[in-house]
Structure 1
Amino acid sequence: MKKFNLNIQGARGICTLMVFFGHATGAYNIPWLQNHMNNPLRLLLDGHAAVIFFFVLSGYFYYTDKCITLKQYIYIIIKRVTRLIPSYWVSIIIGALLCNYYLKYGISQDNNVSHWFASFWNEPVTWSRFLNESKVVFRHAPSNEFINPNSWYLNVDFKMMVIIPVIIFLSNKTYWWLSGVIVFLSVMTTTQCWVAIFLMGAIFHRYQERLFVIIGKHRWFLGVLSVVGVILWDVQTWSGINTNIASNMYRMEIIQAVGVILLLTVLLFLSDLPILTSRVLLFMGRISYEFYIIHFLFLAGLMPFISNTCMYIAVCFIGSLLSAVLLHNGSEWVTFKVLNMNIVGWLKSPK
């Protein structure tokens, strides 16, 4: 099995497109689309399901069977922060300018705009608000009040970046069944399920080889895992769960995470699949974070100026794509410079 399976990169690309088209089509009231939202194909427009995939995958890559030192732990945090923060800061600068322009000139949305999309950018961005949101974490506001609403993802990701490696370290030093207990308690309390979802990815990584041995003897099992995985990942379509109730939402996300793990089992076991390793999907997978963090600003900023739905989606997609490439290249440059500083390099050393 390859060190990095390209199927995963392609799956990232698909999830990135799911988020974009879910938000883009959700911005307008589109009757024919809304009348078919109980169709299984709804999954292709389920941006929240895509985020669950990214969270499980992050937990998967956090796992290591080696006990890292404190210096290495700090290095991992610095590496991830320098990878994510610059693009986010650029996004809220752009978002602040667009939001204030949007409000200053009284640009109105027409009646075709969905109630969900109309809930964003209703207040001007002040300096205090901008500085508060630049912190990424410890922001006390609903995500629809953020300059960049998608940044709720970073709030979760940064907290898990600190917590999950510590749990993995302790599990390596003691017993891994304790991680299972943490997952169980997180699910039962239903106050915060993100620890469980990230940790489920890490636990899967630890035991995946044992699962692969079983699958190697019964390859027909791959088909079962694929079908069940998609069904569980798409639980919101067929279950009728009322996600307006917080506890129901948390449990649904746990079920989706189980579905993602089943699908990851298939993707990691198989060699690179042509349908997932096309140049387009691999490219989208590489710039997935930057595309995610910038696309909503185009959707919100350009809506009042483009009345045709298809044209609106096409322009927003192209603008997001080009911006994501620039952000990705800039982020890689910043990360390279920071990680090559003497003090950061010293943190990387195991001694």
Structure 2
Amino acid sequence: MHGRLEQLDSLRGLAAVTVMFSHFSDVTTTYLFSVLFARTPLKVLINGHSAVLLFFVLSGFVLSLPLLNGRPINYSVFVGRRILRIYMPYLVSIILSILLSLVLSRGGIGGLSDWFNITWTSKISISLLYEHLLLIGNIHSDAFNNVIWSLVHEMRISLLFPLVFLIVKKFDWKYSILIGFFLSFFSILNDNFGFQVSNGYFTTNWDTLHYASMFIIGGVIAKHFKEIIMMYQSLSKLIKWILFISAFVFYNYPGVGIRILNIINFPYPARVLMDYIGGMGAVLFIVIALGSGKVTKLLMLKPINFIGKISYSLYLYHLVVLLSLTYLLYSVVPIGVIFLLTIVVSICFSTLAYFFVEVPFMKLGKKISNKQKLKQLPKELNKSIT
């Protein structure tokens, strides 16, 4: 039952598309799409932050599931595969982004937003390049490609994932979630006391404590995968619709809960609380994707599934393409044309990056894993004989 769950790839792909659209909404000074979409259901198309929370929960799920099914943890092999899966494609993309910034950037474009003009305008230094080479430090994530802030946490948590998995495996789900809450609220100390200033978008070590909780939640879903799916499938159609609407509201409007707390003057850590509300929406979407046959059929449509396959490259390269095309074409063609071209070029380029960068590194990771299995085979045979 636990083969590759390709509908989750598709879900990740749709989330990556919304991250791309969210960056379109940030380019102009009017933040046009944000104004048009923020108060409508169309907000789901530009909700990049909740999409990243979905990525984190999915990572916790897919990393935990094979381990829960009995695959032994070899730390060096695990980390090696994560480096090949996440870091190496990242490294290729960031080198390209740096080179393109040197060739195309004019130090900003008047009339576009501060968000646009903060990227590709930093003075390149050895320390800045070293930050991006290392990736896991408190990086200036908006210097060359601001999507990489989430990869900082992915790599940090990957290095510590055996601890995350230990929490998931050893504790009852309620205690696992409680530990996640503790990590999140412990991270708030940095918000209040400023132990570490973030050089990028939430790139402190304290922020990683908070986002590790999303990995724990994903691991808990994996641990109780069968029970959750059986429970969902036993629900009435009405309850399933209520869950879907709840997922949509939580995912897109986490600030609603904040407003309620404001009304009753309840003190709260707003950012963390909003992430948990958005994360709850992400969890429900994952459960629906796994448990609903109709949703699975939709997600398995070839175009959607293909976007899922190239989703990591799409996440890595869409902003590089957007910046490049904007510097090349702004004032030559309307901004809407640039956005359309960005979609087309990003998908084409991400397809190439998937087949010529991601796939070779994934194959190398599998070879490393298979070699380790062959080394362990004699030991397992000896155990079975004795």
TM-score by length of 2: 0.79
**1:250 alignment partner AA:** V
Counterpart of 1:153? 150
Shift of 1:58: 0.7
Shift of 1:336: 1.8
Contact 1:164 1:199 in 2 (8 A): no
**1:302 alignment partner AA:** L
Contact 2:164 2:215 in 1 (8 A): no
1:268 alignment partner, one of 290, 311, 315: 290
1:229 has 2:256 as partner: no
**Distance (Å, rounded) in 1 between the aligned partners of 2:31 and 2:313:** 31
1:172 has 2:169 as partner: yes
Q: Residue 171 and residue 240 in structure 1: after superposition, are their counterparts in 2 closer, same or farther (change >3 A)?
A: closer
**2:52 alignment partner AA:** V
1:254 alignment partner, one of 254, 268, 276: 276
**Distance (Å, rounded) in 1 between the aligned partners of 2:217 and 2:167:** 15
Show structure 2 runs of 5+ residues with no match. Answer: 189-206, 260-267, 380-386
Greater relative CO, 1 or 2 (CA 8 Å, sep 6+): 1
Shift of 1:266: 1.4
Q: Residue 43 and residue 239 in structure 1: after superposition, are their counterparts in 2 closer, same or farther (change >3 A)?
A: farther
3-state SS of 1:340 partner: helix
Contact 2:258 2:270 in 1 (8 A): no
Shift of 1:295: 1.2
**Distance (Å, rounded) in 1 between the aligned partners of 2:83 and 2:217:** 23
3-state SS of 1:143 partner: coil
> Which moves more between the two structures, 269-278 or 314-323?
269-278
Q: Residue 182 and residue 237 in structure 1: after superposition, are their counterparts in 2 closer, same or farther (change >3 A)?
A: closer
Q: Deviations over 1:259-299 (max 9, x none)?
A: 11112111111225343222211111001011101111111
Counterpart of 2:68? 65
1:340 has 2:340 as partner: no
3-state SS of 1:120 partner: coil
3-state SS of 2:160 partner: helix
Counterpart of 1:14? 14
1:122 has 2:139 as partner: no
Runs of 4+ in 1 over 6 A off after TM superposition: none
Shift of 1:148: 2.0
Shift of 1:160: 1.6
**Distance (Å, rounded) in 2 between the aligned partners of 1:25 and 1:167:** 35
**Distance (Å, rounded) in 2 between the aligned partners of 1:34 and 1:335:** 37
Percent identity (aligned) = 19
Contact 2:168 2:219 in 1 (8 A): no
Counterpart of 2:93? 91
Contact 2:107 2:117 in 1 (8 A): no
**1:210 alignment partner AA:** E
**Distance (Å, rounded) in 1 between the aligned partners of 2:230 and 2:364:** 42
C-alpha RMSD of matched pairs (Å): 2.8
Counterpart of 1:323? 349
3-state SS of 2:134 partner: coil
1:75 alignment partner, one of 74, 77, 80: 77
1:208-247 matches, within 5 Å, as 208-220=225-237, 221-236=239-254, 238=256, 247=269
**Distance (Å, rounded) in 2 between the aligned partners of 1:255 and 1:173:** 26
> Which moves more between the two structures, 195-204 or 327-336?
327-336
**Distance (Å, rounded) in 2 between the aligned partners of 1:233 and 1:294:** 25
Q: Deviations over 1:60-96 (max 9, x none)?
A: 112232565452x322221121122222111121111
Show structure 1 runs of 5+ residues with no match. Answer: none
1:132 has 2:131 as partner: yes
Contact 1:74 1:347 in 2 (8 A): no
3-state SS of 1:125 partner: coil
3-state SS of 1:134 partner: helix
**Distance (Å, rounded) in 2 between the aligned partners of 1:31 and 1:3:** 42
> Which moves more between the two structures, 32-41 or 156-165?
32-41
**Distance (Å, rounded) in 1 between the aligned partners of 2:166 and 2:52:** 25
Counterpart of 1:43? 44
**1:335 alignment partner AA:** M
3-state SS of 1:116 partner: helix
Q: Residue 32 and residue 173 in structure 1: after superposition, are their counterparts in 2 closer, same or farther (change >3 A)?
A: closer
Counterpart of 1:29? 29
**2:68 alignment partner AA:** D
How many aligned residue pairs are there?
A: 342
Counterpart of 1:300? 323
**Distance (Å, rounded) in 2 between the aligned partners of 1:35 and 1:264:** 28
